[in-house]
Amino acid sequence: MQNDVSKCLISREQIAEKVVQMGQQISRDYSGRELVVVGILKGAVIFLSDLVREISIPLYIDFMAVSSYGSSTESSGVVRILNDLDMSIEGMDVLIVEDIVDTGLTLKYLMEILKNRKAASVKICTLLEKPARRKVDINIDYNGFVIPDEFVVGYGLDYNNRYRHLPGVYVLKKEVYTS
């Protein structure tokens, strides 16, 4: 499996340091309020688990599963809700936690859905963003790292549901997904 990745782009230590900063910033920004942290399955699970433990204000955790990718590395532009929230978010401050913003299609669509449910606010927190591939304009409120246009795995991010457990973020070798 280590042979499938070409280089480590972001180490687990760099991620850990960044996640502490992000958690502190979120705690300050939402001070005195109550937050619903919405994790997008499955990619955001590891990031969310580390992030919420750095947030010092009261919060709820809920999850949504959407599909935008199937098994390819290109966004289809079609976003489907596979699993919806358990909670009502009406009147709540919602923070969507995502692994990566690539074209932006997934989050653009999700933002609209969650705003329609009359949330008090909806903001976006992502570990990674790839600005080179953005297709729609979206405002990312909290971003960990800007990365170049390469397909990455690890720290929750997958290719065909593999590699999510790798502790850092790695570039996947092209031959793995073009063969």
Helices (H), the chain: 12-29, 45-52, 105-116, 174-178
Q: For residue 136, what are its two tokens?
A: 């729609």
Q: Which of 39, 43, 154, 156 binds Mg ion (CB under 5 A)?
A: 43
> Among all chains, which residue has been given the structure tokens 């919602």?
94
Under rule CB under 6 A, residue 50 binds ligand IMP = no
Whether 93 is a known active-site residue: answer no
96-118 burial string, b = 16+ CB within 10 Å, else e?
A: bbbbbbbbbbbbbbbbebbeeee
Query: Binding mask 2-41 vs Mg ion (x if CB under 5 A, - otherwise)?
Result: ----------------------------------------
Segment contacting ligand IMP (CB under 6 A): 3-11, 22-30, 68-76, 87-95? Answer: 68-76
Query: Binding mask 78-117 vs ligand IMP (x if CB under 6 A, - otherwise)?
Result: --------------------xxxxxxxxx-----------
Of 50, 93, 99, 102, which is the active-site residue?
102
Residue pair 10/168 in contact by the 8 Å Cβ criterion: yes
Name the site residues for Mg ion (rule: CB under 5 A): 43
